[in-house]
């Protein structure tokens, strides 16, 4: 094999496949040092094309990671972007996933201990956008897990306040507030009754109540907007997130 010895020397210096190595050696007439420089230039070009960093930065990270492209790009991103920025970039086509990952990062970096649900009353000291995300992400998760009829009682004052003040969604807050008021009225009608199955009776009453159902439908129609507004809020205030 032409340049066999040179190929062995080249592969002792850089992680390169035999075919690629021979191709470079053929270009340099067997000169190992020149082939190594060509390889380095190729790798730097790949990294600069993918990340838009300078050649010096690309070279530094390539050497650290032994010319592994994936690890090099990850290393550069870690140096350039915060954790939340990296999450937003990685999950840019799935807003709910991005928000969930950022919530998890907040819990980890702030050492927040949850008992299935977050202790929202204890977290008001956090920056307003961070607190808003925690409140409304937990609320949406609760509504998914339980039901709309239960979710209207989930930290209702806090949830409604965040919707109105942080996300500018008064119409969503209105549906939650009105649904809770109607639910309270129906529960009041059955106050004092203790017969077996009373909870099911009340639940069925709520499910068939036109006013309550109207507000539930109104909330469900606006629910995607909560996610959109939360995502935009995080993007606009990413500096206060981990």
Q: What is the pLDDT of residues 84-131, one digit of tens each?
A: 999 999 898 999 999 999 999 999 999 999 999 999 999 999 999 999
**Long-range contact list for 6-15, CB < 8 A, 24+ apart?**
6/30, 6/31, 6/32, 6/35, 10/35, 10/36, 10/39, 14/39, 14/40, 14/67, 15/66, 15/67, 15/68
CA distance 180 to 208: 15
Q: Which pLDDT score is estimated for 5?
A: 86
**Does residue 187 surpass a pLDDT of 70?**
yes
Q: Which pLDDT score is estimated for 42?
A: 96
Specify the higher pLDDT residue, 91 or 1: 91
Q: Cβ(57)–Cβ(73) under 8 Å?
A: no
Q: Which pLDDT score is estimated for 110?
A: 95
**Does residue 193 surpass a pLDDT of 80?**
no
**Residue at token pair 């010319």:** 67
Strand partners, 117: 115
Q: Assign residue 70 a region: left if phi > 0, alpha if psi is -120 to 50, beta otherwise?
A: alpha
Q: How far is CA 92 from CA 69, 85, 108, 232, in A?
A: 22, 10, 22, 12
Nearest to 179 by CA among 225, 224, 138, 219: 219
Q: Which pLDDT score is estimated for 169?
A: 98
Q: What are the pLDDT digits (tens) for 9-58?
A: 999 999 999 999 999 999 999 999 999 999 999 999 999 999 888 999 99
Q: Which pLDDT score is estimated for 202?
A: 83
Asked whether the CA dihedral 150, 161, 118, 137 is positive or negative, the reply is positive
Q: What are the pLDDT digits (tens) for 195-232?
A: 777 888 888 888 889 999 999 999 999 999 999 999 99
Q: What is the mean pLDDT of residues 144-170?
A: 97
Tell me the CB-side half-sphere exposure of residue 156, using CA atoms within 13 A.
16
Q: What are the pLDDT digits (tens) for 228-240?
A: 999 999 999 999 9
Of 138-147, 181-190, 193-202, the poorest mean pLDDT is in: 193-202
**Does residue 192 surpass a pLDDT of 80?**
no
Q: Which pLDDT score is estimated for 136?
A: 99
The helix/strand/coil state of 152 is coil
**Does residue 1 surpass a pLDDT of 70?**
no
**Does residue 242 surpass a pLDDT of 90?**
yes
Summary count for the chain: helices (H), strands (E)? 13, 0
């Amino acid at each position: 094999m032409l340049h066999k010895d040179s190929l062995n020397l080249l592969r002792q210096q850089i992680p390169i496949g035999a075919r690629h190595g021979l191709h470079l050696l053929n270009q340099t007439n067997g000169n190992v040092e020149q082939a190594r420089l060509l390889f380095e230039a190729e790798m730097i070009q790949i990294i600069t094309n993918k990340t838009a960093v300078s050649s010096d930065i690309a070279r530094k990270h390539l050497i650290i990671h032994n010319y592994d492209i994936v690890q090099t790009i990850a290393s550069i991103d870690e140096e350039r972007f915060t954790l939340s920025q990296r999450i937003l970039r990685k999950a840019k086509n799935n807003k709910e996933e991005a928000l969930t990952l950022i919530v998890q990062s907040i819990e980890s970096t702030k050492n927040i201990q949850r008992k299935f649900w977050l202790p929202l009353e204890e977290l008001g000291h956090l920056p307003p956008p961070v607190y808003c995300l925690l409140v409304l992400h937990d609320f949406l998760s609760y509504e998914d897990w339980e039901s709309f009829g239960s979710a209207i009682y989930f930290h209702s004052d806090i949830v409604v306040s965040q919707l109105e003040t942080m996300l500018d969604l008064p119409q969503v807050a209105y549906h939650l507030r009105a649904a809770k008021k109607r639910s309270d009225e129906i529960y009041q009608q059955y106050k004092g009754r203790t017969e077996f199955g009373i909870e099911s009776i009340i639940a069925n009453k709520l499910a068939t109540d036109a006013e309550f159902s109207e507000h539930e439908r109104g909330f469900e129609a606006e629910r995607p907007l909560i996610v959109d507004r939360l995502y935009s809020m995080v993007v606009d205030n990413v500096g206060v997130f981990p």
